[in-house]
Structure 1
């Protein structure tokens, strides 16, 4: 089943693909301006959805291809959520033109928040990436997904919670996971499998409640909880001040001799409310 969708400008899908291409597990083709997405069906099977840009920044249009007609409304709804197609960027862009981030927003105009394709995959990925440089974090995540997930039609799917819950710590250690990181990943799988952690329910909670729930879980601190709010739930007003990338980007933008303190970031970010998540995204983009 094929469908063409038009959305409100500005929207720069090429910027989206640039960022998604940083993750080697994503099936991105920048030349053809498309990505193949893993769609996790309720029955545990996977389907690949292809999204291709056929428009421009000022006239954004997309061609979507579903493998089957079944439940197409739910699949389209998920694609719209992932790419934030129903959240126009014009007002956000105008807001930042009056701030110190105006040059970054001008350069990267139309760059939306894009969600991870699956909430559980987002949480696992965040845990794996904790306290690692980006290159090795991607390598470790690749090893994990390629061993315990599955590949279908050229697209990698993360393993489901029930699969992760059955993994042995020593098997992850063989992939170069630390002892604790292995325990954390398996523990999250166990909590979801047992019903103790319900990711669907988290979508209905406030930012503060999500952070409180997630940080009770061993191995999940504020950085991972905030990252989940951003990358899995797309919350609009988050600014992870402890993130090294954010600190480096602000240091570069303001030509500071040292990385800013948490207190300095708190003060500098006041004018960026209520769109702190977009400030975070564009700051990351400025140094990628």
Structure 2
């Protein structure tokens, strides 16, 4: 099965379809507009980028990724990742823990226990399980990859703090929902939960700028 990132038109079209039955979303679109997609390429480079961005702000993650990309000049062959010692990764801005995750990813690719080329042919649950078998890749990391690199439109990273806060602000909740509650609340958006996650990021960012 061939999968590819969603285009901006596809993302915005799915958000509009949700808005047809959700007046709150429709009103929010009038206030902040619609997001553009943040498509990523499939393969090791995007997995590496996901590790770089874990538990960091968008700005900090982009800064570290720029250094990593420049160092490797876009060539992320597993053996090249393994050849860089922890001190080298530290100079690029990566912690010892993230370095271990990167080396674990590279070793899994070399050994053949992780096969990203097979992901497009897997159902969502199977693909999530294959990625989360990697050390350092939890549900959030797997969902981010499958949403942005493979265009799986129903991936919803409920563990993302900005997504939680975006939902809280959009619907005027007293507290941000837990990941479990958020998944339940957004079940009505299926099968367009991925684009709606993008809208929540967009809405949260716009509200933060207004402050």
TM-score (norm 2): 0.83
Q: Which residue of 1 aligns with 2:153?
A: 236
- Answer whether contact 2:163 2:200 (CA < 8 A) is retained: yes
Classify the secondary structure of the residue corresponding to 2:121. Answer: coil
Higher helix share: 2
Matches within 5 A, 1:136-147: 136-147=60-71
The structure with the greater share of residues assigned to strand is: 1
103 and 221 in structure 1: CA distance in 2 versus 1, 3 angstrom threshold: same
For the Cα contact (< 8 Å) 2:128–2:142, is it kept in 1? yes
Rg bigger for which structure? Answer: 1
- Report the equivalent of 1:56: none
Following superposition, the deviation at residue 191 of structure 1 comes to 1.8
Q: Which has the higher contact order (CA 8 A, sep 6+)?
A: 2
Q: Structure 1: give runs of 5+ residues left out of the alignment.
A: 1-76, 151-156
TM-superposed CA distance for 1:190, in Å, is 2.4
Q: 2:45 aligns with which of 121, 125, 134?
A: 121
Note the C-alpha offset of 1:264: 3.3
Inter-partner Cα distance in structure 2 for 1:268 and 1:158: 41
Q: Which residue of 1 aligns with 2:18?
A: 95
Quote how far apart the aligned CAs of 1:124 are.
Answer: 0.8
CA–CA separation in structure 2 for the residues paired with 1:85 and 1:197: 30
Contact 2:156–2:194 (CA under 8 A) maintained in structure 1: yes
Alignment deviations for residues 22-69 of structure 1 (CA, whole Å, 9 cap, x no partner): xxxxxxxxxxxxxxxxxxxxxxxxxxxxxxxxxxxxxxxxxxxxxxxx
From the superposition, tell whether residues 222 and 117 of structure 1 become closer, same or farther in structure 2 (CA, over 3 Å): same
CA RMSD of aligned residues (A): 2.5
Aligned to 1:108: 33
Give the deviation of 1:89 after TM superposition.
Answer: 5.4
> Would the alpha carbon gap of residues 195 and 93 (structure 1) be closer, same or farther in structure 2, given more than 3 Å must change?
same
Structure 2's unaligned 5+ residue stretches are 206-211
In the alignment, what sits opposite 1:265?
Answer: 182
Structure 1 residue matching 2:92: 3-state secondary structure: coil
Quote how far apart the aligned CAs of 1:88 are. Answer: 8.2
Quick one: distance in 2 between partners of 1:263 and 1:212? 18
2: CA distance, partners of 1:160 / 1:255: 46
1:115-135 Cα distance to aligned partner (Å, 9 max, x none)? 203432211111111112222
The two structures have a TM-score, normalised by structure 1, of 0.63
Aligned counterpart in structure 1 of residue 129 of structure 2, from 212, 217, 241: 212
Match of 2:119 in 1: 202
Distance 1:279 1:181 in 2: 29
Give 1:112 shift: 5.6
Q: How far has the Cα of 1:281 moved from its partner?
A: 0.9
How far apart are 1:265 and its partner, in Å?
1.4
